[in-house]
């Protein structure tokens, strides 16, 4: 298990990739989603459940919040935003090809211990 400092170092090392994930897949990102890859749905029932959850995500300005959270080492907010972006990714086996997806999953699976 990583410490908070180690976890945040990984976030900062992958900042551009994680920002890409947020820009393209966070449900409330205002970024241009024209470059978002089309992912074929490979699990229709989970996709319907995912769409229901996406509709409940209310976080505004996710990229601004992410940048502020990274700059202040706010693990909780970074994790929350990554989870919301994860829900924004369609249920597709192609999700692993999305820039920042595998990095986000690795971070979410290994939340830091308190220092």
pLDDT in tens, 82-108: 999 999 999 999 999 999 999 999 999
b/e per residue 1-28 (b: at least 16 CB within 10 A): eeeeeebbebbeebeebbbbbbbbbbbb
| Helix 75-88 and helix 62-71, axial crossing angle in degrees, nearest 10 | 150
CA proximity to 65, closest of 113, 30, 101: 30
pLDDT digits (tens, 9 = 90+) for 26-79: 999 876 666 677 888 989 999 999 889 988 999 899 999 999 999 999 999 999
Domain layout of the chain by residue ranges: 4-30+42-109
């Amino acid at each position: 298990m990583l410490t908070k400092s180690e976890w945040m170092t990984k976030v900062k090392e992958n900042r551009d990739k994680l920002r890409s994930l947020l820009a393209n897949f966070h449900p409330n990102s205002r970024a241009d989603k024209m470059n978002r890859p089309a992912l074929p749905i490979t699990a229709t029932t989970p996709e319907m459940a995912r769409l229901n959850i996406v509709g409940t995500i209310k976080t505004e300005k996710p990229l601004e919040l992410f940048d502020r959270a990274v700059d202040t080492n706010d693990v909780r907010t970074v994790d929350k935003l990554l989870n919301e972006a994860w829900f924004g990714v369609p249920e597709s086996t192609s999700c692993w090809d999305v820039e920042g997806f595998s990095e986000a999953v690795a971070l979410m699976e290994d939340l830091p211990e308190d220092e």
